[in-house]
A and B are shown apart, each in its own frame.
Chain A
Amino acid sequence: MIEQLIQHILNDHTLQTVTLGALILGITAGALGAFAVLREQSLLGDAISHATLPGVGLAFLLTQDKSPLTLLIGAGIAGWLGTICVKVITQTTRINKDAALGLVLSVFFGFGLVIITIVQKLPTATKAGLDKFLFGNAATLLKEDVHTMIVLSMIVLTLLILFWKEFKLLTFDGDFFKAQGFPFHFFDILLTTLIVSAIILGLQTVGVVLMSAMLVAPAAAARQWTDRMSVMVILASVVGAISCVSGALTSSMATNIPTGPVITVYLSLAVIISLFFAPHRGLVWDWFRIFKQRGAIASATILQNLLILSESHSDPYHPHDAAVLKTLGSNAFNRTLTKLVREGLIKQYPDNRLSLTPLGLEKARQISLELSEEKGT
């Protein structure tokens, strides 16, 4: 199956172009998305990507030129304008970020639709030309497009590596960054510009509607596996690249499926897997930890109660009625008891009476010592 696929790609120039384009997009968007997510700008990506639509349309309307560079420049300018609108609205009015993002996103997109419907009525326009910017169509990627993407992503990634330290500091501690005398606004704008660039990289492949997922999802998945920025950026790039390439290939080889949604589904699967199974942070890990803690607390409760009973008696190993212990309370009493008997901490008599074993007594005393120490501190 996979061999066949690889064979297929090697023989087919269209698929090669698609794969290369998707690879570049996945790496770049994944890396920049990590910053967007950590700076709590996840939804800014959504607003920017929708805001690029009128830029694409206007660039075509004004220049009558459908080369990728022209359209991407138009998209970039519009995306940038959208970002500035969000900033101005949130900084000068009492309208909050959420509403400002939604406003910019929907109004720009609506204006974009107006432009696109006008463009589509021009005699020079073929309908397929601008449609792919909505949901993306990787199969329409041409060599020329991929070359533009390579150059753009090289610039973006070089700047990212060059100013790595600055961006990292800006992301985690903006105030310290300012206090150290770095030009905050310059780097803030530069990083936003790079994010805008990553977004316009994906317009043709993923489309404006779902481009935000391309930024957010790889980063959200990568975040679960690591606490280190560098590792997270690399992981996000890898997740982005794998999902993007598989999505682009799936949609190119199937009929009638736009690329953006397929990539989004793959990305979401990566996020779901990470959320559940990532070591230390994953939900399964959490549940296991809670389960273990509950068991430990239940065992400690029974041992403690038995210790209290045994201390009231001259013989510490004197057996006591199980019913008494049960009344004193413990989670999942019977299961925990069986476990304690198996571990040799408690001895069970046939008449359902219990006593501590020497090992159990020692353990119970140790626990009560630990507890009183904790109380002391």
Chain B
Amino acid sequence: MSPSLEIIFLASLVALTCALPGVFLVLRRISLMSDAISHAILLGIVLAFFLTKSLSSPLLVAGATLAGVLTVTITEVLIKTQKVKKDTAIGLVFPFLFSIGVILLNKYAGSIHLDAECILFGEIAFAPFNRLVIQNMDLGPIGIWLVGGIFLLNLAFILVFYKELKLATFDPALAAALGFSPVILHYALMSLVSVTAVGAFEHVGSILVVALIIAPPAAAYLLTERLSSMLILSAVIGVTAAISGYWLAYILDANIAGSMATMCGVIFFVIFIFAPDRGWLARKFFQKFNQWNFAKDILTVHLLQAEITHADRQEQVVGHMTDHMLWSPDFTDEVIGRCLDDGLILQEGEKLLLTDYGREKAKISFIKG
């Protein structure tokens, strides 16, 4: 593979890996835990680096994952003391751990290629240079193998515990009653997020991981009601953002990870506007649709009542509707026009008469109302 293809492949793999646990974070309303974890793993990475003196040791992944889980634990202990609220607790713990990591890094690790920029930007563009070579065989970038492994782990976890995750997400009380420990499942998920963040960290940086974890599932959430389709859609959206992000970065000559996050935002925005049922346009359309339907019901029922009571024929005159309903003349004309189009009423000069069809419809809406 050419280096640029390798980068695109790796970027897609990272996006895919992040989107899977992200679905459960968004559904369980703990999305910002990913923010806390992705920051706190830096301390784990730095400490493990001081111990092992190597950047590619598996201990590094273990240490960082541990730091992620530790952050979640400390945050939850802090919440339990009831001294601070949940959001404050999150906002206190991870900046502290992250800061210690940054200071240690700046102070003692000046020579290695981990620096502040790398922490925030990620260096996916350098991934092809760091290759896995076994017995003179070039097996491609190490990053692809590492992230690929984490992807398989995530996939396996979700496939094996699909039912448990689904139940614990949508009905935690029932899950607990049936004997699945919500706490164990929660921490398993948090460990998964930590491992994912560690794998993605090197390539997209600690903050943009959050975009890849949250944005695709959030967008998918606007498109579907089913957990399985939400997982698939999130994966598709994540990969789309990764590939289009790469090209955006190529065109602008800008940071790849940043462009991927930007494309996540763009895709979310497009779905936010155009989603079939929950999008902004659809909602506006339904609002209007309902408004006209309601107005048509009102008009026909009103005419029906006038027919039944044989009241003053005044009721059936166009101008009367304006006074009686407090509708503006334009609005009245529009409603009458729509009723005429639908064959609900007939107009004879100034008088409005129900058709047979309109009478039936009016009776139905009257009963329903």
- Checking B34, B100, B110, B217 against A256 with a beta-carbon cut-off of 8 angstroms, the contacting residue is B110
Question: Is B280 a contact partner of A92 (Cβ separation < 8 A)?
Answer: yes
Q: Is A264 located at the chain interface by the 8 A CB criterion?
A: yes
In the complex, how many angstroms separate the beta carbon of B280 from the nearest chain A beta carbon? 7
A216: chain B residues within 8 A (beta carbon):
88, 91-92, 95
B222: chain A residues within 8 A (beta carbon):
93, 95
Taking residues whose C-beta sits less than 8 angstroms from the other chain, chain A's interface range is 35 or more
A89: chain B residues within 8 A (beta carbon):
272
Q: Is B210 located at the chain interface by the 8 A CB criterion?
A: yes
- Checking A93, A96, A98, A117 against B255 with a beta-carbon cut-off of 8 angstroms, the contacting residue is A117
Q: Is A265 located at the chain interface by the 8 A CB criterion?
A: yes
In the complex, how many angstroms separate the beta carbon of B121 from the nearest chain A beta carbon? 6
Q: Report the separation of the CA atoms of residues A213 and B98 in the bound assembly, to the nearest whole angstrom.
A: 11
Closest to A89 in B: B272
Q: Is A209 located at the chain interface by the 8 A CB criterion?
A: yes
Q: Is A149 located at the chain interface by the 8 A CB criterion?
A: no
Question: Is B87 a contact partner of A110 (Cβ separation < 8 A)?
Answer: no
Q: Report the separation of the CA atoms of residues A264 and B99 in the bound assembly, to the nearest whole angstrom.
A: 6
Question: Is B258 a contact partner of A117 (Cβ separation < 8 A)?
Answer: yes
Q: Is B339 located at the chain interface by the 8 A CB criterion?
A: no
Question: Is A110 a contact partner of B208 (Cβ separation < 8 A)?
Answer: yes
Question: Is B265 a contact partner of A110 (Cβ separation < 8 A)?
Answer: yes
A95: chain B residues within 8 A (beta carbon):
26, 218, 221-222
Closest to A112 in B: B258
Q: A82-124: contact bitstring with B at CB < 8 Å (1 yes, 0 no)?
A: 0000000100111110111111011111111111111001000
Closest to B283 in A: A92
A223 touching B84 in the complex, CB below 8 Å, given contacts A103-B218, A217-B92, A268-B92: yes
A3: chain B residues within 8 A (beta carbon):
none
Q: Is A37 located at the chain interface by the 8 A CB criterion?
A: yes
Question: Is B252 a contact partner of A134 (Cβ separation < 8 A)?
Answer: no
In the complex, how many angstroms separate the beta carbon of B85 from the nearest chain A beta carbon? 6
Question: Is B35 a contact partner of A46 (Cβ separation < 8 A)?
Answer: yes
Q: Is A135 located at the chain interface by the 8 A CB criterion?
A: yes
- Checking B34, B253, B265 against A111 with a beta-carbon cut-off of 8 angstroms, the contacting residue is B265
Interface-lining segment among B2-10, B101-109, B180-188: B101-109
- Checking A103, A114, A209, A265 against B268 with a beta-carbon cut-off of 8 angstroms, the contacting residue is A103
Q: Is B113 located at the chain interface by the 8 A CB criterion?
A: no
Q: Report the separation of the CA atoms of residues A114 and B214 in the bound assembly, to the nearest whole angstrom.
A: 19
Q: Is B302 located at the chain interface by the 8 A CB criterion?
A: no
B20: chain A residues within 8 A (beta carbon):
none
Q: B55-86: contact bitstring with A at CB < 8 Å (1 yes, 0 no)?
A: 00000000000000000000000100101110
A103: chain B residues within 8 A (beta carbon):
31, 211, 214-215, 218, 265, 268
Chain B binding site: helix, strand, loop or mixed by DSSP?
A: helix
A271: chain B residues within 8 A (beta carbon):
92
Most chain A beta carbons < 10 A, residue from B25, B84, B252 = B84
A118 touching B87 in the complex, CB below 8 Å, given contacts A93-B278, A110-B260: no
Q: Is B261 located at the chain interface by the 8 A CB criterion?
A: yes
Most chain A beta carbons < 10 A, residue from B213, B221, B258, B260 = B258
Question: Is A209 a contact partner of B103 (Cβ separation < 8 A)?
Answer: no
A110 touching B259 in the complex, CB below 8 Å, given contacts A101-B32, A258-B116, A268-B96: yes
Most chain B beta carbons < 10 A, residue from A101, A131, A219 = A101
Question: Is A114 a contact partner of B252 (Cβ separation < 8 A)?
Answer: yes
In the complex, how many angstroms separate the beta carbon of B226 from the nearest chain A beta carbon? 14
Q: Report the separation of the CA atoms of residues A198 and B151 in the bound assembly, to the nearest whole angstrom.
A: 41
Q: Report the separation of the CA atoms of residues A271 and B32 in the bound assembly, to the nearest whole angstrom.
A: 21
In the complex, how many angstroms separate the beta carbon of B255 from the nearest chain A beta carbon? 4
In the complex, how many angstroms separate the beta carbon of A153 from the nearest chain B beta carbon? 22
Closest to A207 in B: B116
A262: chain B residues within 8 A (beta carbon):
99, 103
Q: Report the separation of the CA atoms of residues A134 and B272 in the bound assembly, to the nearest whole angstrom.
A: 30
Q: Is A210 located at the chain interface by the 8 A CB criterion?
A: yes
Question: Is A98 a contact partner of B211 (Cβ separation < 8 A)?
Answer: no
Q: Is B335 located at the chain interface by the 8 A CB criterion?
A: no
In the complex, how many angstroms separate the beta carbon of A213 from the nearest chain B beta carbon? 4
Q: Is B262 located at the chain interface by the 8 A CB criterion?
A: yes
Closest to A281 in B: B83
Q: Report the separation of the CA atoms of residues A262 and B272 in the bound assembly, to the nearest whole angstrom.
A: 40
A99 touching B31 in the complex, CB below 8 Å, given contacts A45-B91, A110-B261, A256-B110: yes
A107: chain B residues within 8 A (beta carbon):
211, 215, 261-262, 264-265, 268
- Checking A92, A102, A220, A281 against B32 with a beta-carbon cut-off of 8 angstroms, the contacting residue is A102
B30: chain A residues within 8 A (beta carbon):
98
Most chain B beta carbons < 10 A, residue from A46, A50, A99, A268 = A99
Q: Which 6 A-B pairs have the closest CB atoms?
A: A110-B261, A113-B258, A107-B265, A106-B211, A261-B99, A213-B95
Which B residues are within 8 Å of any A CB, using their own CB? Answer: 25-26, 29-32, 34-35, 78, 81, 83-85, 87-88, 90-92, 95-96, 98-100, 102-103, 106-107, 110, 116-117, 120-121, 207-211, 213-215, 217-218, 221-222, 248-249, 252-255, 257-262, 264-265, 268, 272, 278, 280, 283
Which A residues are within 8 Å of any B CB, using their own CB? Answer: 37, 40-43, 45-46, 50, 89, 92-96, 98-103, 105-118, 121, 131, 134-135, 209-210, 212-213, 216-217, 219-220, 223-224, 256-258, 260-262, 264-265, 268, 271, 275, 281, 283
Q: A110-B264, A223-B83 are in contact. List 14 more A-B contacts (CB 8 A).
A: A94-B221, A102-B213, A105-B207, A106-B35, A109-B211, A110-B258, A114-B255, A114-B262, A115-B254, A118-B252, A209-B98, A261-B103, A261-B106, A268-B92
- 12 pairs across A/B with beta carbons < 8 Å? A37-B84, A45-B91, A95-B26, A106-B214, A109-B211, A110-B208, A112-B258, A117-B255, A209-B207, A216-B95, A258-B116, A265-B103
